[in-house]
Amino acid sequence: METIVNRVAESGIITLDLVPFIPGDNVVEFDLKPYLFREMILREKDYRAALLTTDWEQYRNKHVAILCSADAIVPVWAYMLAASNLEPVAASVYFGSKDEMVKHLIQKRINEIDPEEYKDKRVVIKGCGDVAIPEAAYVAITHHLRPYVKSLMYGEPCSMVPIYKMK
């Protein structure tokens, strides 16, 4: 009787799933648009008064992206004032959209990977999952690991697209 051999399991390929790097639903936006007069002008006195009545607890332990979705000229200090109010409660604060912040957080988490753990290894970056992963994450992981790995692939161990192979 012929023994069935799982060549994928014996190949030493490490599969890296990027889903755990996605911050999930704890990323929210703080939009300055509702604080503008006629969605065009920021009045300092009114803005400061409105911030005093804002429920900052809704941002507790959340990653908060600060932006202004209106086409208005907003002074830099207005963003700083929002960040100052968010700092005691938010997990982190970022200037930009929610999508930009998600990319930022993914990049930050990828940079925390010790690339030495993947030195001279064959690595496949998992694709085709149920969770949408921004293309930026794939670019970031490629940039982070390429100098260390023996080979880098995309997909599943049974169906991989070669990305890089050490010469």
| 128-161: pLDDT as tens digits | 778 888 999 999 999 999 999 999 999 987 788 9
Per-residue pLDDT, 8: 46
The predicted model gives 32-39 an average pLDDT of: 92
Per-residue pLDDT, 6: 42
DSSP secondary structure of 91-136: SEEEES-HHHHHHHHHHHHHHTS-GGGGTT-EEEEE-S-SS---HH
How do residues 42-100 score in pLDDT, each as one tens digit? 999 999 999 999 999 999 999 999 999 999 989 999 999 999 999 999 999 999 999 99
- The answer to whether residues 33 and 68 touch, using CB atoms and an 8 Å cutoff, is yes
Per-residue pLDDT, 117: 95
Residue 4 has pLDDT above 70, yes or no: no
Per-residue pLDDT, 1: 62
What residue ranges do the domains of the chain occupy? 7-23+112-165, 27-90
Residue 108 has pLDDT above 90, yes or no: yes
- The answer to whether residues 32 and 79 touch, using CB atoms and an 8 Å cutoff, is yes
**pTM here?**
0.82
Per-residue pLDDT, 11: 62
